[in-house]
Every structure is written in C-alpha cells, then in structure tokens.
C-alpha cells in the first residue's frame, strides 16, 4: 500500500516550487521505484502514483513533492526525458495556483526541423527562467514537427518572449516563427470506449492532474440515461491537453481501453 493517499500529495505550505507531476510512467513501476528514483535527488515530503480507484491500476502519472525547491528543479533537469522501462518520463512542476505564473506557456511554430532542444532553450532563455521546454517530434520517424512549447516561470517573461521573437527570423531560421500563448483558446478532447455506468467524476479524475479542465460531458442514451460509451473534455491549455491525450490514449480503465484524441 502506498503511504501517501492524498489526491495531489501537497502540503499546507506553498508547494508551487516543490511539487512535481510525472507523466508517461510505465504501468509496472511501483511506489517504491518512484520514491527511490526521485529520492536520490533530495528529501521527499510525499510521493504518489495515481491509480484507478476500482482496479488499482496505475493511471500513468504521479506526484513527487520535495522538501526543498532546489531539489525539485534539479529533478526536472536530471530526470525529465529519462527512459524508465518502456517509457520516457516527463517531469515538470505540478499546476500552480499563483496568478503570476498562470498563462506563461508558449506555443512556438515554424521552427527549423533541425533545431535541437539546446538551441531552442538558448533562443528563449534570454527572456526569463524556463521551467520546461519541449520540441514535438513524430512518434514514428522521430523527426521534429517544427513545433515546440516553452513554459516560463512568469507570465511577464512569456510576454517578453512574444514581443522579442514572434514574427521574427532568429538565427538558423529561414522563415519567421510564430510565438503565442497556448492558453489563448480551449481544446476539446474526445474520449471513447467508456463504460455504460461511467459518470463525469471519472473524466474529472482522469484529466484534472494534467491541467485546467473547463468542463466535461458524457453522451447518454435518452431513454436509459446510460453512457453511450463516449464523452468530451474541454481543457484550457493546448500542451496540457496534448500531454493528457498522450498519457491517457490506450489507458485501461477497468476492463476497457480508452481511445483519447482531439475532437475533429
């Protein structure tokens, strides 16, 4: 049994700089594996793998809350992108509550497909402290899609990056790039193969750890009021929606394997 049973493993203090969310966890990783891996960095206040309440199966993500902020930052630098069993894990700060760091996530397109992660960070780091950054690559070929996400510490830093780089042609780029806030619109996610007895709470439980959920909807039969097997989740932020889809598509909920994608 896992010692921490809180919904997000947070403390009574401000944990915006100590609480991490770890996604793409392999299904066979245990609580003790996760604690051992992250405990090498520094003292851990709490640790949890989120599991389905009925089956007990891992939902593919968890939380680690450090005692010291510098250890959380070090864990991101050292463990984000680490290959663990069959998965490459993503380590980032859990969604904070401070208004000053809301809406600090940038969507970048038009990048050269040869641009490396280091070159991306060098391009954006003059504008502020980067929490996480990622270049999207094709899952089959591994080739860059020319699209990236940059998450700054502060909203003002993200705004400065937009002013400095949007519609500009940085060194190495043959065309102007687009830099804008990801949170400028909402994104609707289609969830298929739900059980007929599913309720909205299941969708909230599944998607909320990945970011801001605006609303959920289950499509029900007008006569029996049973779920028809599918529903929709609307999220505020594109990258958070993308990570949720990547983490939950193919996830086994009870006896069913979910199909999760953007609504077409």
pLDDT digits (tens, 9 = 90+) for 103-114: 677 889 899 999
Which tokens go with 165? 């780089």
User: Can you give the pTM of this predicted structure?
Assistant: 0.46
State the burial class of residue 211 (Cβ atoms within 10 Å of its Cβ: 0-12, 13-18, 19+): buried
For the domain spanning 19-93, the CATH number is 3.30.70.330
> Looking at the predicted structure, is the pLDDT value of residue 186 above 60?
yes
Q: Which CATH architecture has domain 187-262?
A: 2-Layer Sandwich (3.30)
Residues 6+ apart with CB under 8 A from 116: none
Of all helices (H) and strands (E), which one includes residue 59?
A: strand 58-66
Which residue intervals of the chain bear CATH 3.30.70.330? 19-93, 99-184, 187-262
For the domain spanning 99-184, the CATH number is 3.30.70.330
Using one digit for the tens of pLDDT, what is the confidence trace for 121-163? 999 999 988 877 778 777 678 788 888 888 787 888 999 999 9
CA distance 138 to 141: 6
CA distance 39 to 41: 5
DSSP bridge pairs for 63: 21, 48
């Amino acid at each position: 049994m896992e010692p921490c049973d809180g919904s997000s493993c947070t403390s009574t203090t401000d944990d915006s700089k100590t609480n991490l969310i770890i996604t793409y966890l392999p299904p066979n990783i245990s609580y003790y594996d996760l604690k051992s891996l992250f405990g090498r960095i520094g003292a851990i206040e709490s640790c949890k793998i989120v599991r389905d309440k009925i089956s007990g199966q891992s939902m593919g993500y968890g939380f680690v809350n450090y005692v010291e902020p510098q250890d959380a930052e070090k864990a991101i630098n050292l463990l984000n992108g680490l290959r663990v069993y069959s998965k490459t894990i993503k380590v980032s700060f859990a969604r904070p509550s401070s208004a000053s760091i809301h809406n600090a996530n940038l969507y970048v397109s038009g990048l050269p497909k040869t641009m490396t992660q280091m070159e991306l960070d060098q391009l954006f780091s003059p504008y502020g402290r980067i929490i996480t950054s990622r270049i999207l690559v094709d899952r089959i070929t591994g080739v860059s899609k020319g699209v990236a996400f940059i998450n700054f510490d502060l909203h003002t830093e993200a705004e400065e990056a937009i002013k400095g780089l949007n519609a500009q042609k940085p060194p190495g780029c043959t065309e102007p790039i687009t830099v804008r806030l990801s949170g400028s619109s909402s994104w609707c996610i289609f969830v298929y193969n739900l059980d007929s007895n599913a309720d909205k709470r299941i969708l909230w439980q599944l998607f909320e750890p990945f970011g801001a959920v605006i609303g959920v909807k289950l499509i029900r039969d007008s006569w029996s009021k049973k779920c028809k097997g599918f529903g929709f989740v609307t999220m505020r932020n594109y990258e958070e929606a993308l990570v949720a889809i990547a983490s939950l598509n193919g996830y086994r909920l009870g006896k069913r394997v979910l199909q999760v994608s953007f609504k077409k």
